[in-house]
Amino acid sequence: MPSQKTVQDYIRTIPDFPHEGILFRDVTTLFQDARGFRLAVDQLLSPYVGTSIDRIAGLEARGFILGGAVAHQLGKGFVPVRKKGKLPGKTIEQDYVLEYGHATVEIHDDAVEPGQKVLIVDDLLATGGTAEAGIRLIERLGAEVVGCAFVIDLPDLGGRAKLSAMGVPVHAICSYEGL
């Protein structure tokens, strides 16, 4: 009987992308395999089954793919947290620092309601800048972030510690130690 593949088995590593010395963890190979993708979605949502959640927020861009699938499986609505200038309606924005510079994300000002419980989903947790910005946007609208779920955690970059210090529980399917 062959051994079962893990989510990590479907993720390829690309050296020196986007800069020399970086080991890029590419989830597109996970997405293109039906079994791998289902395994990842199931493992992302499993800690939250039966939990009171009103919306799933996905962080641009791979978080849209994963968050949409998680929202579908949980029977919840989906909220995109997008790069500045990409949403058509009235938005609020949040600046943040990421691994390679600065950026701004936005959310529609009516995407969540006060008191709603939101789960944030993305593919990768590195420094935590994007997730922190998403948390701040959701909280500014009066909703509560009940957790953040990621396929990959890069613990050496400090993102998990940053989000935990904000009081937000973090769930990651796999992690890669070292840079």
Question: Catalytic residues, which ones?
Answer: 62, 99
**100 phi and psi angles, rounded to 5 deg:** -120, 15
Give the closest residue to 151 by CA, choosing from 125, 126, 130, 169: 125
Sheet strands (E) in the chain: 12-15, 23-26, 55-59, 77-83, 91-98, 101-108, 117-125, 144-153, 170-175
Angle, helix 34-45 to helix 62-74, in steps of 10 degrees: 70
Q: Count CA atoms within 13 Å of residue 24 on its CB side.
A: 12
Contact 161, 103 (CB under 8 A): no
